[in-house]
Each structure stands twice: as C-alpha cells, then as structure tokens.
C-alpha cells in the first residue's frame, strides 16, 4: 500500500509538471504556426506551408497529450474499474494517425507544386525556418527529460526534434534558392519533410497500436519477469503470466505462482510486488498455489490472490 501511494504521488507530480511544459509548448508553437503560415501564404512557399501544417498538427498532438495525462489519473468507477487511463493509449494512436494524414497532405501539395512551380523568396524561407529551429528546439529540450517514461510525451518529443531538423533543411533550401534561383528545391524539401515525418511516426503508430490491443509494452521483458519471480526464495514455478498496459505510463500483470510453503504466502507476495515494481510493473495480481496441491497443469487450486 505504501509503495502504491508513493507511485500515485509521483505520477500526480509528473502530470502537474508536464501540464506546465505542454501549456508553454502549445503557446510557443501556436504563435509560430500563425507567423509561418502567414509568411508561407504571402510568399507562396509550399515548404513553409507544409511545415506550418505539420506544426499545427503538433499543437493538436500536444493538446491531446495533455488530455491523456488528465484522463490517466482518473478515478475508477463501477463501470470503468481502471478509470479512463486506457484512453491515453488511444490518444497516442490518434496522434500517429493525424501525423500520417499530414504526411499525405504534404505529399499531394508537393507533387502539385512540381507541376505548377512558382517563384519563392529564399531569404523569407530561411529566416522563417530559422525561427522554427529556435521554437521547436526549445520545446524538444523541455520534453527531453520526460519522454522516456510515456509514449505520448515521447511522440511529442520526437515531433519537435523532427521539426527542428526539418526547419534546418528548409533553411538550407532557402539559401540554395537565394544563391541559384533553383525554386524546385522547395517541393523537394516538402517531400523530404514528409519522409522524415513518416519515419518518426511509424514506430509511434506501431507501438500505440500494440498497446491498444494489450500487447506487452516496449521496455518490458516477460522472460526477465519470469526469471525475477523464480529467483524469489520459496517460488517453484510460474504460469498463466499476462502483462498489459493500463495506460501509457502504467503496466499491469497477473500470474499464478507456485510456492513450496503456503505459510510464506504473504511474504512471498510482498517481495514479488517489490521485484515487479523495479521492472516497471505498477499493478500486480498474484494467485498463489501450493506445490503439493498442483498435481496437474490444468487442475490448480488457487490459495490466495492480491493486488
């Protein structure tokens, strides 16, 4: 109980801290999107317009991630015994789909630009994209420390890091246009942006899909879990092991554990909970079985459970 209370306190603190970061990031990126889209429209630059569209999708992603964090701390109800925590996984999946739609729009517009090229100002593109490097870089730095423990935050971090690199590419295209007048580089950069976004989105899409169908979360090794449980003194066997995500930040486990002495049941369960916590399992339900009573694999007498 003490350990679970500590986890909840830490999780609440993390949510509060991230909310502040997300609010700052949303304001910065909205201001930049407005400026970049306006300049892109006036200068007829597909590079700037596509980058602004992607930055706008990032703003929506940040807002959805904030919502996910709020829902991940929701209280259980009679109908939703885990609260709305799983919606954080669905939101990460939705974010990936939004990015894929943005990629499609960029590709279509870039191809159109190839067929109907228009002169663009290299200097305007370079200065606007340079501002993007600053805004996206600051946002990425703010998210960097916290992206390792949550797929939504990781997605936001990757988007901002990608945008920083893309903006650097747009600066290069602006310089090339200024020096050579080779305006076709603008849709080429647009297609390059689409490629970079697609690469950075694929892993997010795959992992969020796996989590949405209750696959074992990335970073959790079931073989390591099994080995750790079997190392506990008194534990003789483990079966019916299941691991799945409750949310993007919490993982649950159920297992049948066979022990040699039922009198050690409570101490074994407590020790196993602490072992599992170190492996990233915040919620564990263990059914303890006696070695002497487990005569057959399919006929087990469960002697107790805990959560």
Domain boundary assignment for the chain: 2-212, 222-306
pLDDT in tens, 153-165: 777 777 777 777 7
Lowest mean pLDDT among 178-187, 211-220, 288-297: 288-297
Assessment of whether the complete model's pTM goes beyond 0.75: no
Q: Which residue has the higher pLDDT, 12 or 249?
A: 249
Name the superfamily (CATH) of residues 222-306.
Cation efflux protein, cytoplasmic domain (3.30.70.1350)
User: Do the domains at 2-212 and 222-306 have one common CATH topology?
Assistant: no
Q: 2-212, what's its fold?
A: Alpha-lytic protease prodomain-like (1.20.1510)
- Tokens describing residue 254: 């159920």
pLDDT in tens, 243-279: 999 888 789 999 999 988 888 889 999 999 999 999 9
pLDDT in tens, 196-249: 778 777 878 888 889 889 899 888 899 999 999 999 998 899 999 999 998 887
Q: Strand pairing of 251-259 and 283-290?
A: parallel
C-beta of residue 285 within 8 angstroms of C-beta of residue 262: no
Q: Which residues are 289's β-sheet partners?
A: 258, 302
């Amino acid at each position: 109980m003490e350990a679970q209370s500590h986890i909840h306190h830490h999780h609440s603190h993390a949510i509060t801290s991230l909310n502040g970061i997300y609010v700052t990031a949303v304001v910065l990126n909205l201001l930049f999107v407005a400026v970049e889209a306006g300049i892109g429209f006036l200068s007829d630059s597909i590079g700037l317009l596509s980058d602004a569209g992607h930055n706008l999708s990032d703003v929506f992603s940040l807002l959805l991630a904030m919502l996910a964090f709020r829902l991940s701390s929701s209280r259980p109800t009679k109908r939703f015994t885990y609260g709305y925590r799983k919606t954080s996984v669905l939101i990460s999946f939705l974010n990936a789909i939004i990015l894929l739609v943005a990629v499609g729009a960029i590709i279509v517009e870039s191809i159109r630009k190839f067929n109907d090229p228009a002169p663009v100002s290299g200097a305007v593109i370079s200065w606007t994209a340079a501002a993007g490097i600053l805004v996206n870089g600051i946002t990425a730095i703010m998210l960097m420390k916290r992206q390792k423990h949550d797929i939504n935050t990781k997605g936001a971090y990757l988007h901002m890091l990608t945008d920083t690199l893309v903006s650097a590419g747009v600066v290069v295209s602006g310089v090339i246009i200024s020096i050579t007048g080779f305006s076709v580089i603008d849709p080429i950069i647009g297609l390059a942006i689409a490629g970079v976004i697609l690469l950075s989105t694929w892993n997010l899409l795959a992992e969020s899909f796996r989590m949405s169908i209750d696959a074992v979360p990335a970073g959790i090794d079931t073989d390591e879990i099994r080995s750790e449980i079997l190392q506990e003194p008194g534990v003789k066997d483990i079966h019916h092991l299941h691991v799945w995500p409750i949310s993007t930040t919490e993982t649950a486990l159920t297992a049948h554990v066979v022990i040699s002495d039922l009198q050690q049941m409570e101490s074994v369960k407590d020790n196993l909970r602490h072992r599992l916590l170190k492996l990233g399992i915040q919620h564990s339900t263990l059914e303890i079985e006696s070695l002497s009573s487990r005569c057959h694999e399919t006929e087990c007498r469960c002697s107790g459970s805990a959560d």
